[in-house]
Structure 1
């Protein structure tokens, strides 16, 4: 392309379409392998994994079904649900939040992708994480804990 000519609208539209599935991160570089250097805040990531698992179960979805709906790898969702030290990609966190109709910023904090200095947020996340996470159908207590925590997250927005 000649430096004297600006690209036309079609070129911009084509470039946008070609990069729709690419990951874009604003801020410091995100390194998924940096857990040895800077581990995710495990109590919060435990709550994030539990939130994903209980929300998925409430919708009666398997890990594979949710992964397909989010256009992410099932293996990544399994790691989110079962490995508190795993740091999910911001794109995946955003897709999870959007799918379950949760505020993206609050879910980013919960997943360890953003910092939370809010003691109330941390306390509520820890209370939520203390609930059972077995693979059976959601108990009334789990349903109430999930509803209560989702309500809290939405009110934070």
Structure 2
């Protein structure tokens, strides 16, 4: 299932992250795609803060991965921009994250064939006047969770 959502400003990006956060569970993968400055890290920061409160959420660009929380609420935030080989992701604890946490992955294309098929893909696109649009691609499991929200928010459903 695919929807397009208008994000007129940073507040809209943050609000969407806060709406999606309760839908995420252990084992989920949410990929964040788009150009530099498109809103990936802003979304991730708002998602993590929606779960854990007003904590500091820096960009993991230099660390490649940062973790938040503990137990069933654990979130791993990957920024794979500097990943040179997809197999390097195993050194970051990728398998552990997939099994026991929710994973937010910026620059998921760097994973190549290691990218999980079951995921929620969010693609941020820049538009005029600092506006952004978001393309939400949901696998069947995610589509079931998102459908009530999409209907309530009047998201534009794209044709396959």
Task: Normalising by structure 1, report the TM-score.
Answer: 0.26
Instruction: Tell me which of the two structures has the higher relative contact order, counting C-alpha pairs closer than 8 angstroms and 6 or more residues apart.
Output: 2
Q: Which has the larger radius of gyration?
A: 1
More helix by share: 1
